[in-house]
Amino acid sequence: MFVDTHAHLFDNNYKNNIDDVIKRAKESGVDYIIVPGTDLTTSFQAVELAKKYDIIYAAVGIHPHETANFETEQLNDLEKLIDNPKIIAIGEIGLDYYYDFSPKENQIYAFEKQIELAIKKNLPIIIHNRQASEDIFKSLEKFGNDKPKAQFHCFSGELTEAKKIVEMRNYISFTGNITYKKADTLREVASFISIEDLLLETDSPYMAPQNYRGKTNEPSLLSFIAEELARLQHLRVEDVARTTSYNAYKLYGIGKMPDVSFVYQIGDSLYVNVTNRCNADCVFCSRKEDPVIAGYNLGMKKSEEPEADVYIKLIGDPKKYKEIVFCGYGEPTIRWDVVKQVAKYVKANGGKTRLNTNGHGNFLNKKDITEEFAGAIDTVSISLNSVDRNEYAKLMRVDPSLHDEMIEFAKKAKLKSKVVMTIVGLSQVDEQKAKKFVIEELGVEFRTRTYF
């Protein structure tokens, strides 16, 4: 259920009870634990733990605190350890300017040399960053597109920093620090960043959750962090567990690819995966490369697309959910007849419906499908993405004329259903201009979708 991506189980706190620690972790739903080294000795110990316990994987690296006497020969020793298949990352590495344990120039040199090792071995990195964000990013940017994917562990920075990490296609993880009484700023960051960009960790034996402060932390307490993230993101704990476990699979190769889902629950809503086909090819969409959202695999082939009766059986009583949402990675109105049949079943049985669409439904079906919304679709969420038709065309990789089709679709849809127009939160898109256009000219609701 959970993956603890950062636990120093070689620590002396576990010297006499490591078997009990592992047992408690398994009993609390932890499937895997990543143990990152902090120097050559602990990296070796991490590897030995990975050999002994099936639940444990290891990372090897030199922590910034240990770089005062860093020499390139140490890289050779680290590289020898990487021959073991259970070594899944280089870490814990990075920069720490809060403590004065190692000169800055030594830290940067060691950090960049270990990045080079990660590139050579095609491994991700686990980054320790304390008051050194500017230099961390400078070091990473030196490697351009070759830089490895990274986990920024024990995040304690500002939202702007978190956004930059996500835009670089990296992951963030919080420890028990988000449960602390004075961590309001951190909780604000945790509530904003998509669960698709987060991992779970305890940083054992440190950073125990609030109710265990002052005690030795361990992987069995990971659920407290998952519960806090679920509360902040208005999700279920199982949503957090499933999504972060898939994120660990993507970054570290731990676990497996989930089977295709025809319906999938996030929070108290049930989503219907109608199709993975789409007439657009949005620059921000991973439909082709990685059609997974919240840990659900939506990448079904055309030959696998179910008929309406399959969806109806899977939905059961629609009143169990806040709403039934027609939304996969594809464009649901490509299969409008199926959507309409399922939606009418939901409405006839006391449920609520929402259609997430690019607004090309009339164009695709060669008729005005909004005339059929009555008694089927309560809310329509339409991807505006940009007010500028040329920018829209570039973002969605479609003909600019489809911008006009989408606007006309929205105008017709609002006569039958509630309409919400959305954009993806990309830096190149003028959010305020889009919001003004949606509210003042179209007279419908506006929302920004988080980019992940």
- Give yes or no for a contact between 437 and 406, defined as CB atoms under 8 angstroms apart: no
- Give yes or no for a contact between 171 and 152, defined as CB atoms under 8 angstroms apart: yes
Average pLDDT over residues 379-408: 93
Q: Which of 219, 252, 285 is the last residue of a domain?
A: 252
Q: Are 278 and 194 within one domain?
A: no
Query: Per DSSP, what are the bridge partners of residue 270?
Result: 265, 324
Provide the CATH number for the domain around residue 104.
Answer: 3.20.20.140
- Give yes or no for a contact between 32 and 248, defined as CB atoms under 8 angstroms apart: yes
Q: Are 70 and 168 within one domain?
A: yes
- Please indicate, yes or no, if residue 420 is contained in any of the structural domains: yes
Q: Which of 252, 276, 311 is the last residue of a domain?
A: 252
Q: Are 224 and 317 within one domain?
A: no
Given a cut of 80, whether residue 427 has pLDDT beyond it is no
- Please indicate, yes or no, if residue 113 is contained in any of the structural domains: yes
Q: Are 67 and 179 within one domain?
A: yes
Provide the CATH number for the domain around residue 359.
Answer: 3.20.20.70
- Please indicate, yes or no, if residue 143 is contained in any of the structural domains: yes
Query: What pLDDT sits at residue 275?
Result: 96
- Please indicate, yes or no, if residue 258 is contained in any of the structural domains: no
Q: Are 65 and 210 within one domain?
A: yes
Which 3-state string (H, E, C) describes the chain? CEEECCECCCCHHHCCCHHHHHHHHHHCCEEEEEEECCCHHHHHHHHHHHHHCCCEEEEECCCHHHCCCCCCHHHHHHHHHCCCCCEEEEEEEEEECCCCCCCHHHHHHHHHHHHHHHHHHCCCEEEEEECCHHHHHHHHHCCHHHCCCEEECCCCCCHHHHHHHHHCCCEEEECHHHHCCCCHHHHHHHHHCCHHHEEECCCECCCCCHHHCCCCCCHHHHHHHHHHHHHHHCCCHHHHHHHHHHHHHHHHCCCCCCCECCEEEECCEEEECCCCCCCCCCCCCCCCCCCEECCEECCCCHHHCCCHHHHHHHHCCHHHCCCEEECCCCCHHHHHHHHHHHHHHHHHCCCCEEEEECCCHHHHHCCCHHHHCCCCCCEEEEECCCCCHHHHHHHHCCCCHHHHHHHHHHHHHCCCCEEEEEEECCCCCCHHHHHHHHHHHHCCEEEEECCC
pLDDT (tens digit, 9 = 90+) per residue, 272-324?
999 999 999 988 888 888 899 889 999 999 999 999 999 999 999 999 999 99
Average pLDDT over residues 192-221: 95
Domain count, the chain: 2
The structure tokens 């060669």 sit at 366
Residues in the chain: 452
Report the candidate in 76, 72, 18 with the shortest Cα–Cα distance to residue 45: 18
Least confidently predicted of 23-32, 144-153, 289-298: 289-298
pLDDT (tens digit, 9 = 90+) per residue, 158-178?
999 999 999 899 999 999 999
Contacts of 318 (CB under 8 A, 6+ apart): 270, 324, 345, 346, 349, 350, 351, 352
Query: What pLDDT sits at residue 332?
Result: 97
Average pLDDT over residues 132-153: 96
Domain that holds residue 389: 263-449
Q: Are 300 and 228 within one domain?
A: no
Q: Are 320 and 235 within one domain?
A: no
Given a cut of 80, whether residue 426 has pLDDT beyond it is no
Q: Are 231 and 310 within one domain?
A: no
- Please indicate, yes or no, if residue 354 is contained in any of the structural domains: yes
Report the candidate in 119, 105, 101 with the shortest Cα–Cα distance to residue 63: 101
- Give yes or no for a contact between 197 and 172, defined as CB atoms under 8 angstroms apart: yes
For 226, 241, 294, 348, the CA distances from 264, given in Å and listed in that order, are 20, 14, 9, 21
Query: What pLDDT sits at residue 450?
Result: 67
- Give yes or no for a contact between 337 and 364, defined as CB atoms under 8 angstroms apart: no
- Give yes or no for a contact between 418 and 447, defined as CB atoms under 8 angstroms apart: no
Report the candidate in 241, 226, 228, 213 with the shortest Cα–Cα distance to residue 179: 228
Q: Are 8 and 37 within one domain?
A: yes
- Please indicate, yes or no, if residue 45 is contained in any of the structural domains: yes
Q: Are 316 and 287 within one domain?
A: yes
Alpha-carbon dihedral of residues 305, 308, 313, 314, nearest 10 degrees? 40
Q: Are 108 and 130 within one domain?
A: yes
User: What is the end-to-end Cα distance of the chain in Å, rounded?
Assistant: 22
Q: Are 125 and 215 within one domain?
A: yes
- Please indicate, yes or no, if residue 394 is contained in any of the structural domains: yes
Least confidently predicted of 224-233, 350-359, 424-433: 424-433
- Please indicate, yes or no, if residue 309 is contained in any of the structural domains: yes
- Give yes or no for a contact between 354 and 323, defined as CB atoms under 8 angstroms apart: yes
Q: 264 — phi, psi (to 5°)?
A: -150, 140
Q: Which of 252, 285, 318 is the last residue of a domain?
A: 252
Q: What is the pTM of this model?
A: 0.85
Query: What pLDDT sits at residue 282?
Result: 87
The structure tokens 């898939």 sit at 246
